Amino acid sequence: MTKYFIKGGKKICGEIKIQGAKNSVLPILAACILNYGEITLKNCPEISDVDNTLKILELLGCKIIREKNILIINSRNLDSSNIPENLACEMRSSIVFMGSLLSRNKKVIITKPGGCKLGDRPIDLHIDALIKMGANIKFIENKIICVCDKLKGCVINLKFASVGATQNIILAACLANGMTKIINAAREPEIIDLQNFLVKMGAKVYGAGTNEIYIFGVKNLSKNFEYKIMPDRIIASSYLVASAITKGDILINNITPAHLPLNYFLKIGCMVKIHKNKVFLQAPENIKPIDYLETDVYPGFPTDLQSQFLSLLSVANGKSIIKEKIFNERYKNIFELKKINADIKISEDKKKFIINGVKNLKSSNNLITHDLRGGVGLVLVSLFIKGECVINDEKDFIKRGHENIVRDLNKLSADIKILDK
């Protein structure tokens, strides 16, 4: 449990370097078990999801040396296929161990994954693909038991461009017999990062970033190499929102501008300048509303930024509409924002939010986090409010993705601290 105490009303201004991406490092860590060589991972974020994933790797028999943002991982002596239940339940991302362990050990025992409660989080696309590649999968109570001979490459047409399923199939295909083609693959930048990592390992993966990915199975993978994790585009975008909502300005100096939904910051009236891997944003005097914004798969508006924009549009000059198309329960922040006077209505099917921007939001010491990005959305709206807010992060969701949100925002002139227990 962490209580964040924020004295809002200050402009968020300054320059910041963004940490490594949670949603890139997690599949890359699972991919490490494909390799018999030693891997040095740089720019690895110090977040609890990484802590838990490293515990899984060690329990599987990997040797890990950790020095702040640098990890040295050796999977040569991997001797288990069993993902411990308590850790698998912690994180949705544990599901991608299926593909890599089946590749390496031809066996995996895992519990149905946990993670942020965002609604149904089925894994049918993962299971169907692995079965098509030759896995034999049984569900016994809450365990998933998979065995296979050598997996075989095939054509997999995803009915939805699932990020996790795309990653799982890639990891399953790297050591399979023959070629695997993924149709309707997810195009998120984190998929490109995974491909770049695997290619350095000696795997034959092509097409990441497009909706067709090809993987040609190889006999084995055994390389010593190093790799630097991409910066976190969702955290970068969240800090752009922090400046936008407080009439501030911010320079992000290590990000790929094309990975950010900058057009939406222009729509709300921000001035944005980009130069190579830097983005500068100047907030407007007043936030313009957005008639209609819907979340979608990349390159659409990222669902992981929906809660942050919900906070931002709660103080816009007029009416905005947000439609959440990816997760069917990513609306719980509305109940927290209503505690501070936000004027938000939610449709019957809980997918559409009608936001009438108001300026008279009021402080609260009783804001509760429901998931990682929702928690960040509450921090951002507290930065706007001229007063003191307390955010009760009972399950430490924010630390799952942010190395140190207090350090980062104080560097940007915020007044935020952690309250003693």
Binding site for ligand EPZ (CB under 6 A): 22-23, 26, 92-93, 116, 118, 120-126, 160, 162-165, 303-304, 326-327, 372-373, 401
State whether residue 28 is helix, strand or coil: helix
Sheet holding 293-294, edge to edge: 293-294, 319-323, 352-356, 343-346
What distances in angstroms separate CA 142 from CA 94, 362, 383, one per listed residue?
A: 14, 44, 42
CA–CA distance, 338 with 85 (Å, rounded to integer): 36
Helix axes 306-313 and 233-245, enclosed angle (nearest 10): 10
* Least distance in angstroms from the C-beta of 24 to ligand EPZ: 8
Residue 234: closest CA among 292, 306, 282: 306
Answer yes or no: are the C-beta atoms of 174 and 197 closer than 8 Å: no
Based on CB atoms, which residue is closest to ligand EPZ, 52 or 246? 52
* Least distance in angstroms from the C-beta of 371 to ligand EPZ: 7
Residue tagged 């968020």 (tokens): 12
Based on CB atoms, which residue is closest to ligand EPZ, 139 or 160? 160
* Least distance in angstroms from the C-beta of 284 to ligand EPZ: 28
Among residues 116, 146, 148, 174, the one annotated as catalytic is 116
* Least distance in angstroms from the C-beta of 164 to ligand EPZ: 3
Residue at 30: amino acid letter? A
Based on CB atoms, which residue is closest to ligand EPZ, 46 or 343? 46
What distances in angstroms separate CA 1 from CA 11, 262, 341, 404, one per listed residue?
A: 28, 33, 25, 15
* Least distance in angstroms from the C-beta of 234 to ligand EPZ: 6
Based on CB atoms, which residue is closest to ligand EPZ, 249 or 408? 408
Based on CB atoms, which residue is closest to ligand EPZ, 109 or 163? 163
Based on CB atoms, which residue is closest to ligand EPZ, 10 or 126? 126
- Residue 358 tokens, joined: 């108001």
CA–CA distance, 419 with 421 (Å, rounded to integer): 6
**Radius of gyration of the chain measured on its C-alpha atoms:** 21
* Least distance in angstroms from the C-beta of 186 to ligand EPZ: 6
Annotation says 146 is catalytic: no
Whether the upstream peptide bond of residue 299 has omega within 30° of 0, thus cis, is: yes
What distances in angstroms separate CA 167 from CA 191, 243, 391, 393, one per listed residue?
A: 7, 33, 34, 30
Catalytic residues: 116
